[in-house]
Amino acid sequence: MLALLVLATVALASAHHGGEHFEGEKVFRVNVEDENHINVIRNLASTTQIDFWKPDSVTQIKPHSTVDFRVKAEDIVTVENVLKQNELQHEVLISNLRNVVEAQFDSRVRATGHSYVKYNKWETIEAWTQQVATENPALISRSVIGTTFEGRDIYLLKVGKAGQNKPAIFIDCGFHAREWISPAFCQWFVREAVRTYGSEIQITELLNKLDFYILPVLNIDGYIYTWTKSRFWRKTRSTHAGSSCIGTDPNRNFDAGWCKIGASRNPCDETYCGPAAESEKETKALADFIRNNLSSIKAYLTIHSYSQMLIYPYSYAYKLGENNVELNTLAKAAVKELASLHGTKYTYGPGATTIYPAAGGSDDWAYDQGIRYSFTLELRDTGRYGFALPESQIRATCEETLLAIKYIASYVLEHLY
């Protein structure tokens, strides 16, 4: 009996940690002041196994910023010595990654089915897309916009009261596999739409006059991989001729300043842009859907984590969109609305100045397609969690995010073009 119990516990643990243990791994937060500091980190990245958490890659580090990266246990002494020798101010954001990974499942209830306040594995989310559509036929319909590299259906939920020629807002989640709070938010949005339609004035008006396209998980293969094999996997799971390295960064795979800056041509890198723009089936499916529905899609929002930012085009260059002033005002107000609930502070601005020039992500691409209101939301990390935000914080994070999105949606509704 005892042996059985032990076996069951081990099975549960490996299901949660994908066979990795993260014992002794650390996440550092380093203050970077100047180009010398950036060079130190660049050298470190070339000699040790550094996994950049914020910003996404070594090429996006800018002076006077903080950089978060994960270090394998065997490289910690080296990294600490280099940081000390070069007088880089730093702190240990996560002192033992194992504890944080275990703590992400900290919600008291461990129901077996779908839950809006838990992280759900893909099979559960997939079943949920079917169920929520079946149970709410007047508000939700489900379609498949393509398949992933490994052949899984990519689902899209259309949420809104039936009507002819309705304008639409497109929201996607789950580009980067390890950013688990992102899919959790897409599910939360659908829940709130269904739960408060007809009783809450703002949601009711939005759903009466607009359709919301909700894409719960784009990078499904990667998401599954973070549950089964590698919790901090980021990319897709595609293979590449001539390389044993797997995956492309789906947000570096759009035809917007493709692979010019802030992305890598090396398939082994976390920001690999792919062999060509839209080479990834997931990216292509998303781009095709948006291209085919450009007459109705008036806003595009893509949900990531964890930098607490609301950014808008452009990221791929220091240039500003034609309605930059409007986007800035809108972002400022949306961020204020978000903070009104729990005081969570977001920065906002054009991607290039807020982060650093990067190969255009999906928001830049959508904007270049003519979608005037295109944003990337990097959801919160209050505390020292990185991508392993505890389940107990899903509700608060989703609630405040919903406020910002409702604000943007209402604005878009008032400024239809």
Spatial distance between the Cα atoms of 209 and 167, rounded to a whole number of angstroms: 7
Q: Give the burial string for 3-20 (b: 16+ CB within 10 Å, else e).
A: eeeeeeeeeeeeeebbee
**List 54, 70, 152, 176, residue binding Zn ion (CB under 5 A):** 176
Spatial distance between the Cα atoms of 87 and 345, rounded to a whole number of angstroms: 29
Write down the least CB distance from residue 386 to Zn ion, Å: 12
Spatial distance between the Cα atoms of 192 and 200, rounded to a whole number of angstroms: 10
Q: Which is nearer to Zn ion, 57 or 148 (CB)?
A: 57
Tell me, by CB under 5 A, how many residues bind Zn ion: 3
Long-range contacts of 32-35 (CB under 8 A, 24+ apart): 32/61, 32/62, 32/63, 32/64, 32/65, 32/66, 32/67, 32/88, 33/63, 33/64, 34/63, 35/63
Q: Which is nearer to Zn ion, 54 or 176 (CB)?
A: 176
Write down the least CB distance from residue 396 to Zn ion, Å: 20
Contact 88, 30 (CB under 8 A): yes
Q: Which is nearer to Zn ion, 79 or 311 (CB)?
A: 311
Write down the least CB distance from residue 335 to Zn ion, Å: 18
Write down the least CB distance from residue 217 to Zn ion, Å: 13
Tell me the per-residue interface mask from 38 to 57 with Zn ion, x by CB under 5 A, - otherwise. --------------------
Binding range to Zn ion, per CB under 5 A, among 108-116, 145-153, 174-182, 322-330? 174-182
Residue 378 annotated as catalytic: yes
Spatial distance between the Cα atoms of 143 and 165, rounded to a whole number of angstroms: 18
Phi first, then psi: what are they for 40, rounded to 5°?
-60, -45
Contact 128, 120 (CB under 8 A): yes
| Alpha-helix runs per DSSP H in 201-272 | 201-209, 220-228
- Please give the distance of CA 249 from its chain centroid, rounded to a whole number: 12
Write down the least CB distance from residue 176 to Zn ion, Å: 3
Binding range to Zn ion, per CB under 5 A, among 13-21, 81-89, 303-311, 397-405? 303-311
- The two tokens of residue 88 are 């880089």
Q: Which is nearer to Zn ion, 175 or 373 (CB)?
A: 175
Write down the least CB distance from residue 197 to Zn ion, Å: 30
Contact between 235 and Zn ion per CB under 5 A: no
Binding range to Zn ion, per CB under 5 A, among 18-26, 27-35, 236-244, 297-305? 297-305
**List 231, 235, 304, 406, residue binding Zn ion (CB under 5 A):** 304
Q: Which is nearer to Zn ion, 358 or 402 (CB)?
A: 358
Query: Residues 25, 179, 378, 400: which is the catalytic one?
Result: 378
Give 316-364 as a 3 state SS string: CCCCCCCCHHHHHHHHHHHHHHHHHHHCCCCEEEEHHHHCCCCCCCHHH
Spatial distance between the Cα atoms of 286 and 361, rounded to a whole number of angstroms: 13
Helix (H) / strand (E) element for 17: namely helix 2-17
Q: Which is nearer to Zn ion, 97 or 358 (CB)?
A: 358
Binding range to Zn ion, per CB under 5 A, among 83-91, 139-147, 158-166, 296-304? 296-304
Residues that bind Zn ion (CB under 5 A): 176, 179, 304
The catalytic residue positions are: 378
